[in-house]
Amino acid sequence: MTGPRDLFARYVRQRDALSELPFFVEPTESRAAAPPPDEPRPAAAGTERARAERRTGRTGAKPLATQRWQKDLPDIPPAGIVVAPPGSDLFSEDPLAGLELDELAATVRTCTRCGLCRSRTNAVPGEGPANARLAVVGEGPGANEDATGRPFVGRAGELLTEILAAIDLPREQVFICNVVKCRPPDNRKPTPDEIKACVPYLHRQLEIIRPAVILAMGGTAAETLLDTRQSLGPLRNKMHEFRGIPLIVTYHPAALLRNPNWKKPTWDDVRIARQLVARDG
């Protein structure tokens, strides 16, 4: 005998086959809002509005931005590198272990762990809500960030804000930070010693937030979080993990300003990250 679960699965397959845009199954606890399989179809079944209502269980079509990032979605890549086992606690001996985000930010602003403190105007701890579902990690502050104490506020930051808006994740809902919290002179790449001195702050931030997905933007962020010396290219198109958290690698927005040809692969990467956020619920 066919049960409700089998009927719903058949309904999903039929809807997916007939829809122009990908069909996303909501988490189990929210499926009660979806229309049952034997419910009559809306009168205007052929319209875009009716298709949207059947997909979401809500009145009205999806916003244009949602349709844009969901159209022709790339496949979620296979699993790649696992850096540390889920639930591992590497902070039991660390003085940062008991700090929350605001206390951690205050500690960063007075930090003297490495020589970058001598040339900074402002340390840049990062910003965003403690319950953020997406964490974006870059390399380090630039001149604008050093002047304001905020991450990603220059031209690269404006581009990042546009990218996040295009995948329906306003900047205010995302935690944004860098591997090192002080600007390296002349925007050079931070040295291994500088990264080693500063990375406990990043690790503690991610431990507090426990985002659904980490988006590592640029080679330094990817190398640091994945503890690898591979170049950025081979690290793309794989779903890595950082302490049990899915991690996607992509280009830094500053690199996109220098090479617009990287915009398309970056767009694919951020949409994969968005799919993973949606899948997590």
- The predicted pLDDT at position 73 comes to 82
For residue 118, what are its two tokens?
């001598």
Give the percent of the chain with pLDDT over 70.
71
| pLDDT band at residue 167 using 50, 70 and 90 as cut-offs | very high
For residue 35, the model assigns a pLDDT of 45
Characterise 149 by phi-psi region: left (phi > 0), alpha (psi -120 to 50), beta (else): left
Mean pLDDT calculated for residue range 222-233: 95
- Nearest-5° angle of CA 64, CA 68, CA 72? 145
22-72: per-residue pLDDT in tens?
333 333 333 344 444 444 444 444 445 445 444 444 445 556 667 777 777
* Higher local confidence (pLDDT), 95 or 179: 179
Name residue 240's beta-bridge partners.
247
**Which residues are CB-contacts of 3 (< 8 A; sequence separation ≥ 6)?**
none
Q: Which residue has the higher pLDDT, 8 or 218?
A: 218
In this structure, the answer to whether residues 138 and 225 fall within a common structural domain is yes
The total of structural domains in the chain comes to: 2
Report which of 112, 121, 186 is spatially closest to residue 150, judged by C-alpha positions.
121
Query: Do residues 89 and 218 share a domain?
Result: yes
- In which domain, by residue range, is 203 found? 79-280
* Residue 103, in any domain of the structure: yes
Based on the fold, state whether residues 155 and 16 are members of the same structural domain.
Answer: no
Residues 154, 48, single domain; the answer is no
Q: What is the mean pLDDT of the chain?
A: 81
With 0-12 / 13-18 / 19 or more C-beta atoms within 10 angstroms meaning exposed / middle / buried, residue 60 is: exposed
CA atoms of 244 and 235, how far apart (whole Å): 17
Q: What is the pLDDT of residue 95?
A: 83
Burial class (CB in 10 A: 0-12, 13-18, 19+), 121: middle
Burial code (b: 16+ CB inside 10 Å, e: under 16) for 6-32 equals eeeeebeeeeeeeeebebeeeeeeeee
- Residue 270 has a pLDDT of 97
Residues 173 and 36 in one domain: no
In a domain? residue 49? yes
CATH number of the structural domain spanning residue 152: 3.40.470.10
Query: Is 228 a domain residue?
Result: yes
Residue 72 lies inside a defined structural domain of this protein:
no
pLDDT, tens only, 175-219: 999 999 999 999 999 999 999 999 999 999 999 999 999 999 999
Q: Supply the pTM of this predicted model.
A: 0.73
Give the range among 86-95, 100-109, 144-153 with minimum mean pLDDT: 86-95
Domain co-membership, 145 together with 53: no
pLDDT at 105 over 60: yes
In a domain, 143, yes or no: yes
